Amino acid sequence: MAHLFDEWRTRSPHYDETHEAVCDSVRAFVTREVLPHVDAWERAGQLPRELHAKAAQAGILGFGYPEEFGGTSEGFNIFHSFVQSEELCRPGAGGIVASLMTHGIGLPPILAAGSDAMKKAIAPAVLAGGKIIALGITEPSGGSDVANLRTKAERKGASYIVNGQKTFITSGMRADYITLAVRTGGPGIGGVSLLLVDMTSPGVSRTALEKMGWHASDTATIHFDDVEVPAENLIGPENAGFGAIMRNFNGERIGMAQQAAANARLCFEDALDWARERSTFGKPLVANQVIRHKLADMLRRIQATQAWIDHCAWTLVNGKAAPGEFALLKVQATQTMEFCAREACQILGGASFIRGSRVERIYREVRVMAIGGGSEEIMFDLASRQYGF
């Protein structure tokens, strides 16, 4: 059987030799710079900052971003990004992807709505790996309830004064900047804005969070106590931040769906390899019908999920995207990952319970994928409202 990480693309109309070139390039980087260090970074609880610079030099950080800011975008589309994401997932340590690529959620609002001066000051440094940017949406009081966030930014002269807290912030301990959702107006979605905050500003403090999974990613609660932010750091019009946040979520959700599908494929491959090599009661484990059925069911869900991901990407490229479909896609993908992680653990047995294997790490990271970017419950509710029922 062909390597599942590659063979599904050969039968899709969305992928060609340019996508395979991206695969080869990113795989070489992962093999050289990531795989030898996964366990050490998991123990350390964060990535070394120099990895960002190395990833930039390999063309990974700037992939899909404007050339004028040091990115590479001409001739590439979202399907190339899927291939890159797929290869970055191969170590089976989601925290590495989340933390290394955190600019993927922190930088787009600036590029979409920030001033020219802001773009020129921030984007090149981030895409070169010299600076790290995070996204600050979730709060201790509200979780996914963006419309009712409480972190407040009050305009005083030429500055905003920010007070509040954000939590579960990926790269929060190492970030140099944060794209911060704040309340500048009244209640509800009409009072939300986005601000770019320098994390070295007086009044900013951080608390590291220990987690079930994503151990290689630093995660923080961030406190803002009378933090002064220049008014020119407003991203887009005042009180118009909610729409930008929602548009950002679409990209985040399809990206998470691709990562979930990749993780499910990893679980399938490791389970298949184990079932072929492991002998029990005098025969290979895979010779048992129940094991073969588990593997077939995993593959069924993976293939269906990938087909839907590719379809949603096509709608995005062709201006036909529907937020409700992206919400349901995320649920489909993360539930597929959860099912495959469970079945892989069952097939590996006790070996899946020992630290250091891809299946063990992926199993611990199921919940963050199902909750991050919008929980299953929020996604179902969003979809039901989008479809009008």
Go through the domains of the chain in sequence order and give each one's CATH number: 4-127 (1.10.540.10), 133-239 (2.40.110.10), 243-386 (1.20.140.10)
Sign for the pseudo-dihedral over CA of 162, 168, 174, 177:
negative
| Number of residues written out for the chain | 389
Q: Could you give the CA distance from residue 335 to residue 327 in angstroms, rounded to a whole number?
A: 13
pLDDT of residue 4: 67
Distance of CA 383 to the CA centre of its chain: 21
Would you call 134 helix, strand, or coil by DSSP?
strand
Q: Report how far Cα 355 is from the mean position of its chain's Cα atoms.
A: 23
Tokens 């029922």 locate to 389
- Low-confidence spans in the chain with pLDDT less than 50: 1-2
Give the span between the Cα atoms of 312 and 266, in whole angstroms: 22
Return the pLDDT at 1.
43
Cα–Cα nearest to 211, from 105, 365, 362: 365
